[in-house]
Structures are given as structure tokens and as C-alpha cells.
Amino acid sequence: MKKLNLIISTILLVWLFGSSCSKDESTPVPTPVTTPIPTSSDVVQDLLDNGLTPIQVFNQGYTLSEIYCKTYGGGYIFYLDTISGEGLVCSTIDFGNNIEWDEAYAFVNGTSYFHYIGNTDTTLWSGEQNTINVASSSPNSACALVANYTGSGYSDWFISSKNESRLMLEVLGTELGYNILSHGMYWTSSEIDENQAWEFLNTDNLGSSGVYSYYKGTGRNIRPVRKF
């Protein structure tokens, strides 16, 4: 009798185990959810969006190449002084296109004459003062237009100097594959003489990206810049 009971118990256990296995096989197995791993670029932008300054992000160990081209203070970061924490951003959009550096004030025998400002510079950190100087001397100039620009809620925009423009081109232009400066030809705030000022070209596909002198009466694009 005991042997019979043992056999019956064994049969029941085998049947129960087989039933449970069959049930598990018929139950759909949920697909595991994978969360994308944030890149360092995503992390840097999140830090800036949550109130950190670019220098604070840099001091956390992120590189300049990870910080550049991120949005901050109304524009794209293209320069950071890692000692002072000051830097430069350019607006995310052009201010306008086909804008003359200065409007001709006289025409003599078919020749256009322009104001000679005479007090602009080409160096880093000179663009803001250049813009103020040109705007006060020539109210219809590109600098005067940008001096009144209030994009992204800021009113301290200016046109970059020659050297500031070169930095902007190197970081935001086609040379690094960003091509944020998509319209190609932009004025700087640095004057050369009565007839010419410096412009920069973001046209790497033509092999001509760089900074060049050009006639003030030519229409070009404007990309405002501000300091932080």
C-alpha cells in the first residue's frame, strides 16, 4: 500500500511540474526596456540648462570641445576663458542678411564714400566697444542695427571683431562639421579704412573659409554676439 501511494504521489508531482512548465512557455516574455546612455554632450547641455555656468562645467572635468557649440546665454558657446570664466556666444539665428557694413554718405563721380570710423580694433574682446563706436558715429550702420537687437531677451549684443570672428568660424563653421553659420558671408565690426572692413566666410565647400577685407557697401549677413 505504501508503495502504491508513493507511485501515485510521484505521478502527481510529475503531472504538476509538467503543467506549470507548459503554462510558463505560453506566457509572453516581456521585452527588456533599455534606457539610452546619455552622452557627455547631453550631460553638459543638461548642466548648463540647470543653472551651471560654462566655467563651472569646465571645472567639473569636461573639456572645451564638449562645452563649445552648446546653447547658453541666448546663443552657441564658441569661446571660454578658463581662467576668468568669461566667454562668448553667438545668436542661434542671423540678425539679417544683405546688410551693408556702413551706408554710403556721398557719391562723387560715381564713387561711393563712407564714414571712416577710425577707432575700431581687431583683437579679442574688442567687438563690443567696436560696435558702440561705429554705432555712435554712423546711425545707419550694421553695428547701429545690432546695438538695438534684443534677441533671446538680451540687449547687449554686438558684432564680433576680426579675431573674435575667427574663433567663431573655427568652432561653429564647417571646419568642425557644425555649419551653424550657414549663410556663408558675415561682417565683423573691425574697420580697415574708408572703404573696407573685415568679413569672414564660412564656405569651406568652396575652399575659401577665412577672414578677408571687403568693400563696406556690400551686403552681408550679421550674426550677433554677446559676452557672458
What percent of the chain stands above pLDDT 90? 65
**Is residue 219 a part of any domain in this protein?**
yes
**Is residue 5 a part of any domain in this protein?**
no
Are residues 171 and 68 part of one domain? no
pLDDT at 76: 96
The contacts found for 137-146 with CB under 8 angstroms, 24 or more apart, are 138/102, 138/103, 140/102, 140/103, 141/100, 141/101, 141/102, 141/103, 141/115, 142/99, 142/100, 142/101, 142/102, 142/187, 142/220, 142/222, 143/189, 145/95, 145/96, 145/99, 145/222, 146/95, 146/222, 146/224
Number of domains in the chain: 2
Judged against a pLDDT cut of 60, whether residue 112 lies above it is answered with yes
CA distance 108 to 207: 37
**Residue 105 pLDDT grade (very low, low, confident, very high; cuts 50, 70, 90):** confident
Are residues 150 and 62 part of one domain? no
pLDDT at 182: 74
Looking at residues 171-193, what average pLDDT do you find? 82
pTM of the full structure = 0.80
Domain that holds residue 84: 40-90
pLDDT at 126: 98
Are residues 210 and 176 part of one domain? yes
Are residues 100 and 55 part of one domain? no
Judged against a pLDDT cut of 80, whether residue 131 lies above it is answered with yes
Q: Which of 57, 75, 90 is the last residue of a domain?
A: 90
Are residues 142 and 85 part of one domain? no
**Is residue 15 a part of any domain in this protein?**
no
The residue among 6 and 121 whose pLDDT is bigger is 121
Q: Which of 70, 90, 110 is the last residue of a domain?
A: 90
pLDDT at 68: 95
Residue with cell 557672458: 228
Are residues 70 and 130 part of one domain? no
Are residues 68 and 153 part of one domain? no
**Is residue 10 a part of any domain in this protein?**
no
Judged against a pLDDT cut of 90, whether residue 7 lies above it is answered with no
Are residues 211 and 115 part of one domain? yes
Judged against a pLDDT cut of 90, whether residue 34 lies above it is answered with no
Are residues 218 and 154 part of one domain? yes
Are residues 60 and 170 part of one domain? no
89, 78 in Cβ contact below 8 A? yes
Are residues 109 and 45 part of one domain? no
**Is residue 125 a part of any domain in this protein?**
yes
CA distance 155 to 107: 34
What percent of the chain stands above pLDDT 70? 79
**Residue 207 pLDDT grade (very low, low, confident, very high; cuts 50, 70, 90):** low
Looking at residues 131-135, what average pLDDT do you find? 97
Query: Taking all residues of the chain, what is their mean pLDDT, rounded to a whole number?
Result: 85
The CA angle 81-162-79, to the nearest 5 degrees, is: 20
pLDDT at 17: 44
Q: Which of 73, 90, 107 is the last residue of a domain?
A: 90
**Is residue 105 a part of any domain in this protein?**
yes
**Is residue 22 a part of any domain in this protein?**
no
**Is residue 13 a part of any domain in this protein?**
no
pLDDT at 225: 98
The CA angle 63-68-70, to the nearest 5 degrees, is: 115
136, 203 in Cβ contact below 8 A? no
pLDDT at 21: 46
Are residues 203 and 131 part of one domain? yes
Integer angstrom CA distances of residue 76 from 57, 91, 198: 15, 7, 22
The CA angle 38-39-45, to the nearest 5 degrees, is: 90
43, 69 in Cβ contact below 8 A? no
